[in-house]
Amino acid sequence: MSFDCRHCGACCAYAASWPAFIGEGDGADIPDDLIDFEHGRMRCHANRCAAMVGEIGVATRCSVYADRPLVCREFQSGSEDCIMVRRSFDLGAA
Ligand code: SF4
Ligand code: SF4
């Protein structure tokens, strides 16, 4: 099972602690104003990543997609975590 992330975006707004940098060079090309240097992760407004554009569950995109953190690249559409996050935003599991 997988979902079209362009109509979701839930995992980009679930927890400020999620989009954290995990290795050397991770996030290197992301603009400074989108980075929370103190915590080593993406800047968030509440739980929503500052790089996300659009409306959750309708149409979203990552404004730094080509340079997004490793953790974002590894997050799998259709995984248990994906479904859990989608449910937290009242988005369906199928
Ligand atoms: S929660 Fe799942 S479907 Fe939604 S954007 Fe993230 S990976 Fe894609
Ligand atoms: S960097 Fe992009 S993919 Fe990662 S949480 Fe932020 S908006 Fe989502």
Where in the sequence is the domain holding 25, given as residue range(s)?
5-88
85 lines ligand 1 (CB under 6 A): yes
H or E stretch covering 60? strand 59-62
- Asked, for residue 70, whether it belongs to a domain, the answer is yes
Q: How far, in Å, from the CA of 12 to the mean position of ligand 2?
A: 5
- Determine the residue of 68, 70, 74, 82 to mutate for testing ligand 2's pocket, defined as the one with the most ligand atoms within 8 A of the Cβ atom: 68
Whether the predicted pLDDT of 92 surpasses 90: no
- Asked, for residue 16, whether it belongs to a domain, the answer is yes
62 lines ligand 1 (CB under 6 A): no
**Distance from C-alpha of 53 to C-alpha of 39, rounded to nearest angstrom:** 22
Rg (CA), the chain: 13
Arithmetic mean of pLDDT over the chain = 96
**Distance from C-alpha of 78 to C-alpha of 1, rounded to nearest angstrom:** 5
- Asked, for residue 77, whether it belongs to a domain, the answer is yes
- Asked, for residue 94, whether it belongs to a domain, the answer is no
Structural domains counted in the chain: 1
Give the ligand 2 atom nearest the CA of 9.
8
- Asked, for residue 93, whether it belongs to a domain, the answer is no
Instruction: Quick: pLDDT tens for 27-71.
Output: 999 999 999 999 999 999 999 999 999 999 999 999 999 999 999
pTM above 0.85, yes or no: yes
- Asked, for residue 47, whether it belongs to a domain, the answer is yes
